Amino acid sequence: MSRQQSPPDPYARPQRPVRQGPGDSHRSALFVALIGAAATIVAALIGLFVQLSGDLEQRASSPSLGGASPASDTPGVPDTSMTPSGSVPPNTPAASGAPGEADGALIAPTATAPTPAGLPEKFLGRWQGYAEEVDATKTDHYRVTVELDQGTLRERVGSVHYAMESTDCYGTVTLTAVGGTDQVILGESIQSGNCVTNGRITLTLRPGDTVDFAYETTKRDGTRQSVKAGLERVA
């Protein structure tokens, strides 16, 4: 027996089929692609951050370059473990070939003997010999005697005697300079006799207990006078 169908409702609202527009599929695909790209970028940034963190941690745990000590961890104290470029640390030998150095090692300066403060002992005693004085018109020969005793600079250290044919001259000598242990310079002051009042005597030690005697002065007429002699120790 067949069922009778109800007659259509004349007041019912007709239903329209849902239609998919042509651009909906493209928008969905673009959205999916953007999400994938964003995920890729985020993953790359995370990987880069992890790598940088590992590098920083490795540098912090590794020793400083060149074997230098680690940086100071005291607040307010600068790190002095690294030597600034171009500077030379103290007590570091400079490049080889510089004065006072050999093969890059410093050489201690050679110690020089101190200059004696007084008359060297080798000059003490009586010295005697014959001098030669050359003048423009004649040459004189006469005996010279020098006696020296102990004394310091600018002190009287002895006497001098010139035994000439026409006169005898006596004077005192003062120590004015010491050239090591083998030379002294004396200032002469004549006290009696017909001689120039002031002069300079240089005595230089020679082998065999002898000294070179060299005298210089300016005469009354303004000319230079020079006397040389070889003296031997007599006492």
> How far is Cα 207 from Cα 209, in angstroms, rounded to an integer?
6
Please tell me the total count of domains within the chain: 2
Residue 189 placed within a domain: yes
Handedness of CA 181, 183, 187, 190 (dihedral sign): positive
User: What confidence category does residue 76 fall into, taking pLDDT thresholds of 50, 70 and 90?
Assistant: very low
Using an 8 Å Cβ cutoff, are 226 and 215 in contact?
yes
pLDDT, one tens digit per residue, over 147-188 is 999 999 999 999 999 999 889 999 999 999 999 899 999 999
Predicted confidence band of residue 115 (pLDDT cuts 50, 70, 90): low
CATH of the domain at 190: 2.40.128.20
Residue 66 lies in a domain: no
SS3 state of residue 10: coil
Q: What is the pLDDT of residues 20-31, one digit of tens each?
A: 555 555 566 666
Instruction: Return phi, psi of residue 53, to 5°.
Output: -60, -40
Asked if residue 225 and residue 125 are part of one domain, the reply reads yes
142 occurs within a structural domain? yes
Do the domain assignments include residue 18?
no
Q: Are 129 and 232 in contact (CB under 8 A)?
A: yes
**pLDDT value of position 116:** 57
Residue 205 located in a structural domain? yes
Identify the pLDDT of residue 37: 76
Residue 157 lies in a domain: yes
Question: In this structure, are 125 and 226 located in the same domain?
Answer: yes
Q: Which of 29-33, 43-47, 98-102, 142-146 is predicted with the least confidence, judged by mean pLDDT?
A: 98-102
Which residues span the domain enclosing 144? 121-233
In a domain, 145, yes or no: yes
